[in-house]
Amino acid sequence: MPDLLTALPEISLLLAACVVLLADVFTTERYRSLVYELAQAALIVTAVAVVASYSPARMEAFSGMYVLDPMASVIKLAILVVGYFVFLYSREYLDARSLTGGEFYILGLFAILGMMVLVSAASLLTIYLGLELLSLSLYAMVALHRDSDVASEAAMKYFVLGALASGMLLYGISMLYGATGTLDLRTIAQAAAAADSPRLVLVFGLVFLVVGLAFKLGAVPFHMWIPDVYQGAPTAMTLFISSAPKLAAFAMTFRLLVDGLPGLSGDWQQMLVGLSVLSMATGNVVAIAQTNLKRMLAYSTIAHVGFLLLGFIAATPGGYSAAMFYSIVYALTGMGAFGMIILLGRAGFEADRLEDFRGLNERSPWFAFVMLILMFSMAGVPPFVGFWAKWSVLTEVVGAGYVWLAVVAVAFAIIGAFYYLRIVRLMYFDKAEDLAPITSGNAIRVMVSANALAVLAIGIFPGALMALCASAMRG
């Protein structure tokens, strides 16, 4: 019973997802909205369970395979909030394109369940279980629009490369198991720190683990799937893939490297330095040449992953909390950017080209301002929250002695500001080509506005979220 109570959020979400699945099977077209409403209710109930099960002390369950600590609770709550927003943004988009089945919401719930298992993993086996539940749901989600050749191609690329990355991760796990004789992360950490540990085998296993992590994060040179999947998948699916899974990827990186292999921090720090520099360089430079907004945001994601890794490179509690803050901020801001694409789109028209935002200030001054907030935040312009996210990881990496790396990061951040500000120029200084009124409903208008205002508000008062992340890492 204590084990079941500790894992109450996951159990609640699993039961709710099964209820939603049955509702989708037996509900007629007339009551199709019931599936959406049940899915949203499932996320709310699970969020309540996360808050109710919060513990300031580390708690383990299921023979040490599951862990509940403050970091897990905060990340889970963030994932559920992002998931709620994503479902709300996506409803109108799916209805307008006759994707009215409940598959999107069902796959989304099971993907979120996989993320939550991943966040609370205390064993290599649990990590792989959560990762595969998440990955399989995302593969199916990308291919959900079966009539779209582009979406099918994106799903195939994602599946093939994802399977390769999973194989790399499994090979690394097998090497760690062979070297330590256990799958438990804390026991692996103790064995890796022992003087008689087979260090060469552990380092080889670490290399394969980092390759798998880099793929899931989308770090260069394992980023090839991101631009094609972001552009090829329907925008609602891209919105989901670009937001909540990044929080789970942060937690997975923390569990494997910080909980499982702290004794090899000198080795994985050097690997992450290379991944970080390559990601910031490739993401920011290649994004300049893009004309498709979804593809540009894909390369932006790659660049942000480079900044996120700076927190892990610092290898301090402050660095980990800064990386956690960065991942939450990026999920919130990226979700708003893709929400704007959905807002401006309509049946038969995807507002995913840069030209589609040309002269937006003439059509709707308010939503031009909303997009300005989101772009300025991504560029790291004060006082928006993206500035504090970059500032926090740069401060930690400088404190760890990597001054040159901070200088490189600032240089690429300046380059990255160009393509964000280009969208602002298109909205405010170019003449509109499309003067058609925005037809999206009130719900998505309100939520996109609230999303952008949250980015602004947290930027003006960042202390609360920063303190929450810091306390979660101390716990």
Tokens of 172: 């690394």
- The more confidently predicted of residues 352 and 412 is 412
3 state DSSP class of 123:
strand
- C-alpha 188/C-alpha 113 separation (Å) is 26
pLDDT at 363: 85
Q: In this model, does residue 347 exceed pLDDT 70?
A: no
Give residue-wise pLDDT tens across range 254-304. 999 998 888 888 889 999 999 999 999 999 999 999 889 999 999 999 999
Q: In this model, does residue 309 exceed pLDDT 90?
A: yes
Residue 220, Ramachandran bin (φ over 0: left; ψ between -120 and 50: alpha; else beta): beta
406, 158, 124: which is closest to 252 by C-alpha? Answer: 124
Mean pLDDT, residues 160-184 taken together: 90
Confidence band for 348, pLDDT divided at 50, 70 and 90 = low
The domain spans of the chain are 2-474
- For 7, phi and psi rounded to 5 degrees? -95, 25
Q: In this model, does residue 467 exceed pLDDT 80?
A: yes
- C-alpha 202/C-alpha 264 separation (Å) is 9
| Residue 279: exposure state from Cβ atoms within 10 A (0-12, 13-18, ≥19) | buried
Confidence band for 27, pLDDT divided at 50, 70 and 90 = confident
- C-alpha 205/C-alpha 256 separation (Å) is 11
Confidence band for 474, pLDDT divided at 50, 70 and 90 = confident
Tokens of 288: 């300049």
Residue 175, H or E segment: helix 149-180
Q: What percent of the chain has pLDDT over 90?
A: 56
Q: In this model, does residue 42 exceed pLDDT 70?
A: yes
pLDDT at 284: 92
Mean pLDDT, residues 92-112 taken together: 85
- C-alpha 444/C-alpha 293 separation (Å) is 20
Q: In this model, does residue 1 exceed pLDDT 70?
A: no
Q: In this model, does residue 101 exceed pLDDT 90?
A: no
- 119 touches 37 (CB < 8 A): no
Confidence band for 320, pLDDT divided at 50, 70 and 90 = very high
| 221 cis-preceded (ω within 30 degrees of 0) | yes
Confidence band for 195, pLDDT divided at 50, 70 and 90 = low
Tokens of 134: 């998440």
Tokens of 123: 């064993």
| Residue 270: exposure state from Cβ atoms within 10 A (0-12, 13-18, ≥19) | exposed
